[in-house]
Amino acid sequence: MDIANLRRDYTRASLDVADVDADPLRQFDRWLHEAVEAQVPEPTAMTLATVDAAGQPSARIVLLKGAGPDGFTLFTNYLSRKGHELAENPRAALLFHWVELERQVRIEGFIERLSDAESDAYFRQRPLGSRIGAWASPQSEVIASRDALEQRFEEATRTHGDEPERPGHWGGYRLVPQAFEFWQGRSSRLHDRLRYLRAGGPGWRLDRLAP
């Protein structure tokens, strides 16, 4: 297979300073709505990039569970690889790629933990199997086998029953954004890129970047 010659020209849309909201959070909301309406698969799936104490980056997909003036929320295991990395270095980046819309959004900032009350509120909304799974899976640790995992799940089901409490090691993070980039694919690789940086104070500085 000749992957070097797999390419597509992007022609769906354009993006100009005059088109976008002065507030990148509102602009993000607009694009997320458009992704949901366009029925892109997993519109809330985003790459979360973290960096460990030695400077080694790592990335994985997680689901966005809220986006508002305070930032972007996600839920995970605080003792996972990403949890340890965020404890060592709270700087992180998020990346959305909505392929069908020929769009990418990059977000950078710092991460804080949600309050226990906020994590409890979301945990209660999860399906029972996911709540049990949060007890059963020591996320990112080496485990002996699939069987061992399923056994842990059965044990957790017996121990925690129908109304499991949220494990203390499971909860939410909020990424507080410092920078955004909205990318719209254009023809001949002359893509549109608009970057917002926090301007010190409530406002944002908006610039066009070269593709």
Ligand X SMILES: Cc1cc2nc3c(=O)[nH]c(=O)nc-3n(C[C@H](O)[C@H](O)[C@H](O)COP(=O)(O)O)c2cc1C
- The yes or no reply on residue 137 touching ligand X (CB under 6 A) is no
Contacting residue, 34, 51, 81, 178, with ligand X by CB under 6 A: 81
Contacting residue, 24, 25, 73, 82, with ligand X by CB under 6 A: 82
Instruction: Answer positive or negative: Cα dihedral of 170, 176, 179, 184.
Output: positive
d(CA 78, CA 41) in angstroms, rounded, equals: 27
At 160, the amino acid letter reads H
Q: For 63, how many CA atoms within 13 A lie in the half-sphere containing its CB?
A: 5
- The yes or no reply on residue 174 touching ligand X (CB under 6 A) is no
Stretch of 25-33, 76-84, 150-158, 180-188 lying at the interface with ligand X (CB under 6 A): 76-84
- The yes or no reply on residue 45 touching ligand X (CB under 6 A) is yes
Q: Is 124 a catalytic residue?
A: no
Contact 29, 105 (CB under 8 A): no
∠86-199-173 over CA atoms, to 5°? 20
Contacting residue, 51, 62, 176, 197, with ligand X by CB under 6 A: 62
For ligand X, the binding residues (CB under 6 A) are 42, 45, 58, 60-63, 74-77, 80-82, 139-140
- Catalytic positions: 189
